[in-house]
C-alpha cells in the first residue's frame, strides 16, 4: 500500500482507495467487467469427479442465474443439492440445441441471466453449447465464463507426455473403419509436420479396440497414456506404448471416464517393411482398395504406388492360404 503515516485511521481502513485500479479485481473481489450475476450467458465449469473442486464463484453464478441450461438436469441437480442451490434448470443437448437457440437468444436480449453447464468439466468441449455461444456473440449478448476442471488438461499434465503443443480431438468415431480413417488423417498431418500430443476421450467399452487401431495406424511403439477416473477415489494413469496398453486393456476391461493421450511422433521415414506391415494388418479387415487408401494417407505416399503394393501382398496372402 502507498498510504503515508499522516493519513487518518479511517482512510487507512479503506484499501480500495489505494488498490491499483488496473488490477483484475477490485476490493470487493469482483471483476470490473461482466460478472456471472449480470444479464447475459455464463459458461460454468463443473467438477469432473470430485465435488470439492467446484469453485465458490461457480456456485455464485449458478445461484444467481435465472435459468441453468444442462446436458442432463438429473446430473446437475445433484451438484445443486450439494451446494444448497435452488434454481430453475432446463435441458440443452445435441438433439435440441438448434431448436432452442432462437428462444434463448430472445430471453438473453430481454436481460435474462442464463448459465450453461455440462455434466462434467468445461462446457462445449465434447459437449453441447457451441452453437448457443456463437449465436449469443453474433447477437451482441454478453458472454463470460467461470473456468474450472477439465479432464483433457488434467490428463495432459499427469501423462508425462509433452504438454505443448497439444491437440484435443474429442471422441474418436465409434466404428473401427471410420476411426482408422480419422487416425490416418492425423498421421498424415504428422508426416507433413504436425508434432503434438494428441488427446481423445473414449468410452470404456471401446478403449481396447481404439488403442489397437491407434497401434495399427500410428505404430505400436508410440508413447501413450490412459487416464481414468480423474479426481475420483480410483484415479489411475497408465503410461506405456500404445501397443502395450492395447494388449493390457484387451484383457483388463476398464471402467469410468477415460482420456487417451498419444505422444508426438519421432521424425522418421517410412520403410518398405513398415508399409508392408501396415498393409498386411489392414488387409485382414479391409478391401485392397480401402487398405491401400488408409496406408497411403498414413504414410504420405502416392495412392497408386501403395495400391500396387497392396495388390501384390493380397495375392501373396491368398496364395499362402491356398
In a domain, 280, yes or no: yes
In a domain, 231, yes or no: yes
Say yes or no: 108 and 50 in one domain.
Answer: yes
**Looking at residue 18, what is its pLDDT?**
41
Among the listed residues 72, 37, 73, 41, the one whose alpha carbon sits nearest the alpha carbon of residue 56: 37
Say yes or no: 307 and 225 in one domain.
Answer: no
Among the listed residues 228, 168, 153, the one whose alpha carbon sits nearest the alpha carbon of residue 198: 168
Last residue of a domain, one of 102, 132, 149: 149
Please check the confidence at residue 117 and state whether its pLDDT lies above 60: yes
**Looking at residue 318, what is its pLDDT?**
87
**Looking at residue 269, what is its pLDDT?**
52
Which structural domain, as residue segments, surrounds residue 185?
Answer: 153-262
In a domain, 300, yes or no: yes
Please check the confidence at residue 166 and state whether its pLDDT lies above 60: yes
pLDDT mean across residues, the chain: 88
Please check the confidence at residue 27 and state whether its pLDDT lies above 60: no
In a domain, 21, yes or no: no
Say yes or no: 173 and 249 in one domain.
Answer: yes
Domains of the chain: total = 3
Say yes or no: 117 and 167 in one domain.
Answer: no
pLDDT tens-place string over residues 202-217: 999 999 999 999 999 9
In a domain, 296, yes or no: yes
In a domain, 164, yes or no: yes
DSSP assignment of 260-297, as one string? EEEPPPPP-PPPHHHHHHHHHHHHTTS-HHHHHHHHHH
Say yes or no: 200 and 254 in one domain.
Answer: yes
Task: Indicate which CATH number applies to the domain containing 179.
Answer: 3.30.950.10
Say yes or no: 55 and 103 in one domain.
Answer: yes
Amino acid at each position: 500500500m502507498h498510504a503515508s503515516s499522516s493519513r487518518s485511521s479511517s482512510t487507512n481502513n479503506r484499501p480500495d482507495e489505494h488498490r491499483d485500479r488496473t488490477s483484475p479485481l477490485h476490493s470487493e473481489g469482483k471483476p470490473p467487467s461482466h460478472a456471472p450475476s449480470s444479464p447475459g450467458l455464463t459458461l460454468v465449469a463443473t467438477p469432473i469427479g470430485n465435488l470439492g473442486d467446484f469453485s465458490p464463484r461457480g456456485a455464485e453464478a449458478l445461484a444467481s442465474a435465472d435459468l441453468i441450461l444442462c446436458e442432463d438436469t438429473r446430473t446437475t441437480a445433484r451438484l445443486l443439492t450439494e451446494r444448497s442451490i435452488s434454481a430453475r434448470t432446463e435441458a440443452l443437448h445435441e438433439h435440441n440445441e438448434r431448436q432452442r437457440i432462437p428462444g434463448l437468444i430472445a430471453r438473453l436480449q430481454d436481460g435474462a441471466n442464463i448459465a450453461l453447464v455440462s455434466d462434467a468439466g468445461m462446457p462445449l468441449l465434447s459437449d453441447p453449447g457451441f452453437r448457443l455461444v456463437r449465436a449469443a456473440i453474433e447477437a451482441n449478448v454478453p458472454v463470460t465464463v467461470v473456468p474450472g476442471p477439465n479432464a483433457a488438461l488434467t490428463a495432459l499434465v499427469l501423462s508425462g507426455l509433452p504438454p505443448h503443443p497439444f491437440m484435443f480431438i474429442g471422441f474418436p468415431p465409434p466404428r473401427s473403419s471410420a476411426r482408422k480413417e480419422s487416425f490416418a488423417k492425423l498421421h498424415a498431418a504428422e508426416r507433413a509436420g504436425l508434432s503434438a500430443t494428441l488427446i481423445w476421450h473414449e468410452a470404456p467399452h471401446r478403449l481396447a479396440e481404439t488403442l489397437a487401431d491407434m497401434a495399427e495406424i500410428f505404430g505400436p511403439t508410440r508413447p501413450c497414456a490412459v487416464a481414468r477416473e480423474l479426481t475420483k477415489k480410483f484415479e489411475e494413469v497408465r503410461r506405456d506404448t500404445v501397443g502395450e496398453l492395447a494388449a493390457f486393456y484387451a484383457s483388463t476391461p476398464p471402467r469410468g471416464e477415460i482420456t487417451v493421450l498419444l505422444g508426438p511422433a519421432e521424425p522418421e521415414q517410412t520403410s518398405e517393411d513398415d508399409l508392408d506391415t501396415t498393409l498386411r494388418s489392414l488387409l485382414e479387415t479391409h478391401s485392397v482398395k480401402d487398405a491401400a487408401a488408409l496406408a497411403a494417407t498414413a504414410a504420405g505416399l502416392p495412392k497408386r504406388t501403395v495400391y500396387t503394393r497392396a495388390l501384390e501382398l493380397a495375392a501373396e496372402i491368398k496364395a499362402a492360404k491356398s
